[in-house]
Structure 1
Amino acid sequence: MIEGYKELDPSKCYFVTGGAGFIGYFLSKKLLELGCRVIAIDNMNDYYDVNLKESRLKQLEGQEGFTFIRGDISDKKTVMKVFAEFKPQIVVNLAAQAGVRYSIENPDSYIQSNMIGFFNVLEACRHNPVEHLVYASSSSVYGANTKVPFSTEDKVDNPVSLYAATKKSNELMAHTYSQLFGIPSTGLRFFTVYGPMGRPDMAYFGFTQKIFKGEIIKVFNFGDCYRDFTYIDDIVESVARILCNPPAKKVDEDSILNGIQYAVYNIGNNQPEHLMDYIAALEKALSKAVGRVVVAEKEFLPMQPGDVKATYSDSSPLVRDFDFKPGMSIEEGLQRFADWYVDYYQVK
């Protein structure tokens, strides 16, 4: 583990953007369980079912130490007010417009949230110094890279979607603010996060909805895709270990980057699964959850614009520095999702 590793500190104030989102909710829940003070913000937009976001939020509201703000990080005044009032020491930026395919159809929302919103967070950290800024990047930054597994040492200059370009831009912006204004920052490249209360726009969730409606699921690249699926608990545990451990200062007196505190980590399962195997595991999990055989009717289609054939995380730096390796099997992870889905949506 890194020298001087620190456990989560309940005495700190944690500001979580996107607090009613998938990862934001589970991270806030974990922090509250550990006795931390959490300030969360979310604009509760309708990119996907708002009722699901409200359900997550309902489980957080009323808990001791939790404060929720319905607001948008693209509104600079709102962000600056939060920092002035609550003076957070640890900031976790998870608010973003997600979705690769959606970015092709609705580019404006990505610039507004992912670029302007993150800029406002950086500005707030600049004028209200924080101990650590942790922010969500994405495995999408690897774009058209063919070398696997993907390493944070690889060049990421070939994004294939605007979403990926905004996430790479976030890393560049954070690097600049770290160098210019001394903001300790860590970017996290998440690899295909899944689990209960997840995002309905994700493939496994959409497949499930269509399967129970008796609709055909669309399988792109004729099923020949690989994804490094990462269960939500593994994501949250990884983030939690990083929060109170900002990067060490770079030591190179001959470099302009001397003293910079900046790092990027992959957060992935390090075990890519073939899409057809993943669908088979989902069918099995859903069958067990409802007590009857569930089989998806499939339509095989070419690759969609913005998609990539494979994602594969080299997570060894995470293991080295924080002694943790995501490892939930897709069988167990999908069963937990299936059980939740059947209960939440009252599937018979």
Structure 2
Amino acid sequence: MTVLVTGAAGFIGMHVCEVLLDRGERVCGIDNLNDYYDPALKQARLKRLQGRNGFVFKKVDIGDQAALGRALEDFGDIDRIVHLAAQAGVRYSLVNPHAYVHTNVLGHLNILEYARHRAGMRHLVYASSSSVYGGNEKLPFSVEDRVDNPVSLYAATKKSDELMSYAYAHLYSIPMTGLRFFTVYGPWGRPDMSAYIFAEKIMSGKPIPVFNNGDMQRDFTYIDDIVAGVIASLDNPPERSDEEVPHRVYNLGNNKPEPLLDMIHALENALGRKAEIDFKPMQPGDVKATYADIDASRRDLGFEPKTSIEEGLQKFADWYKAYSGT
């Protein structure tokens, strides 16, 4: 049988594909390879997958239902989906809101419809985000918390994904799991994320933008830990029963918020360069702190993040210097 991975040329998607292929799975990867950030990085990730036994790639926009159907019509044995394709980024949602509805709402609906019409669909795992917690001030963030007050359109689309998935799980008894990712970083990471932005500017001698005058905390989570949680989730679908809807939501985070200035110091050490800091006010749609309560994912999935911020940033820095040639 085959696992469909959407966003296969993305940061998390590439790593998930690698682990699935390493354990002998057949993987159909799809991605639209858009230019939200440099497509060369997406192509470089994809190059690591193409040619591997069991991997097939299709370029397709999940927001185009007809194109999605055509791309997948030859894959009649897909029985699980890891749906990671999304328009990411909080700040960009202020600039191009339609991209978020097209991919994160319409695209998510198209994946749900595909799963609905696939006989024998065993599990659909999809990416949500810690952004759904919005302006919640209670820390750590628990999956039991209400998430009715998004502070960005990006967060609103991710909450919409959770609601649509619950409805489809209820209506069609398809096991589904939403994963709220907390600030993922590591080798092959996204250029719009803080670790990459800071590394690029530090290595080029430019000041790094630090919002809310540095008074921020993030639950930075290393990519290998995130992927371990994704795979554990994929292998443990919610059970179908008459009493419960087969839909679950979990936090995947490091369970340890890091002050942003401490993270910058660790990155300086990893890169061997000092940062010039440009303090800025809080940005619209941003939040002061994120902190994952992982009791549920630890209990149900055996999720246990193992990578310290110092270890993870050293691995990221080594990759970044090799990839960028700096």
Give the stretch that moved more between structures: 70-79 or 216-225. 70-79
Task: Measure the CA separation in 1 of the matches of 2:318 and 2:94.
Answer: 33
Say yes or no: does 1:238 pair with 2:229. Answer: yes
Does structure 1 conserve the Cα–Cα contact (< 8 Å) formed by 2:173 and 2:240?
Answer: no
Q: Residue type matched to 1:309 in 2?
A: K
Task: Kindly indicate whether residue 307 of structure 2 is the aligned counterpart of residue 314 of structure 1.
Answer: no
Partner of 2:115: 125
Output the CA distance in 2 between the equivalents of 1:263 and 1:170: 13
Q: Using the TM superposition, give the Cα deviation of residue 299 of structure 1 relative to its aligned residue in structure 2, in angstroms.
A: 1.1
Pick aligned residue for 1:30 from 19, 23, 36 = 19
Secondary structure at 2:124's aligned position in 1? strand
CA drift of 1:249 comes to 3.2
Q: List per-residue Cα deviations over 1:187-222 (Å, max 9, x = no partner).
A: 000000000110000011011111112111111001
Give the secondary-structure state (helix, strand or coil) at the position aligned to 1:69: strand
Q: Aligned-pair distance for 1:78? A: 2.5
Contact 2:186 2:312 in 1 (8 A): yes
1:110-189 to 2 correspondence within 5 Å?
A: 110-129=100-119, 130-189=121-180
Q: CA RMSD for the aligned pairs? A: 1.0
Q: How does 1:1-348 map to 2 (within 5 A)?
A: 12-87=1-76, 88-129=78-119, 130-249=121-240, 258-287=243-272, 294-347=273-326
Q: Is the 8 A contact 1:90 1:244 kept in 2?
A: no
**How big is the shift at 1:82?**
4.3
Contact 1:220 1:301 in 2 (8 A): yes
Contact 1:229–1:269 (8 Å) recurs in 2: yes
Offset of 1:250 from its aligned partner? 5.0
TM-score (norm 1): 0.91
| Helix, strand or coil at the partner of 1:29 | helix
Q: Secondary structure at the match of 2:63?
A: coil
Contact 1:114 1:166 in 2 (8 A): yes
Provide the rounded CA distance (Å) in 2 between the counterparts of 1:341 and 1:78: 35
SS of the equivalent of 2:115 reads helix
Whether the 8 Å contact between 1:27 and 1:240 is mirrored in structure 2 is yes
Residue 327 of structure 1 deviates from its aligned partner by 2.5
Q: TM-score, normalised by structure 2?
A: 0.97
TM-superposed CA distance for 1:150, in Å, is 0.4
- CA–CA distance in structure 2, aligned partners of residues 250 and 286 of structure 1: 52
Question: Any idea what SS the aligned residue of 2:210 has?
Answer: strand
User: Match of 1:263, SS?
Assistant: strand
SS state at 2:292 partner: coil
For 2:209 and 2:71, locate their aligned partners in 1 and report how far apart those are by CA, in whole Å: 43
2-structure distance, mates of 1:307, 1:144: 9
Runs (5+) with no aligned partner, structure 1: 1-11, 252-257, 288-293
- Deviation per CA, 1:254-303: give whole Å up to 9, x if none: xxxx342000000000000000000000000000xxxxxx1111111110
CA contact under 8 A between 1:84 and 1:128: conserved in structure 2? no
Residue identity in the other structure for 1:93? H
Q: Could you tell me how far 1:84 is from its partner in structure 2?
A: 3.5
Q: Distance in 1 between matches of 2:150 and 2:123?
A: 27
Q: Distance in 1 between matches of 2:91 and 2:244?
A: 39
Q: Which runs of no fewer than 5 residues in structure 2 stay unpaired?
A: none
Asked if the contact 1:83/1:124 (under 8 Å) is kept, the reply is: no
Read off the aligned partner of 1:343 and give its amino acid letter: A
Structure 2 distance, partners of 1:159, 1:186, is 21
Q: Equivalents in 2 of 1:50, 1:156: separation in Å?
A: 33
Percent identity at matched positions? Answer: 57
Instruction: Quote the residue 1:3 is aligned against.
Output: none
Deviation at 1:80, TM superposition (A): 2.3
SS at match of 1:85: coil
How many aligned residue pairs are there? 324
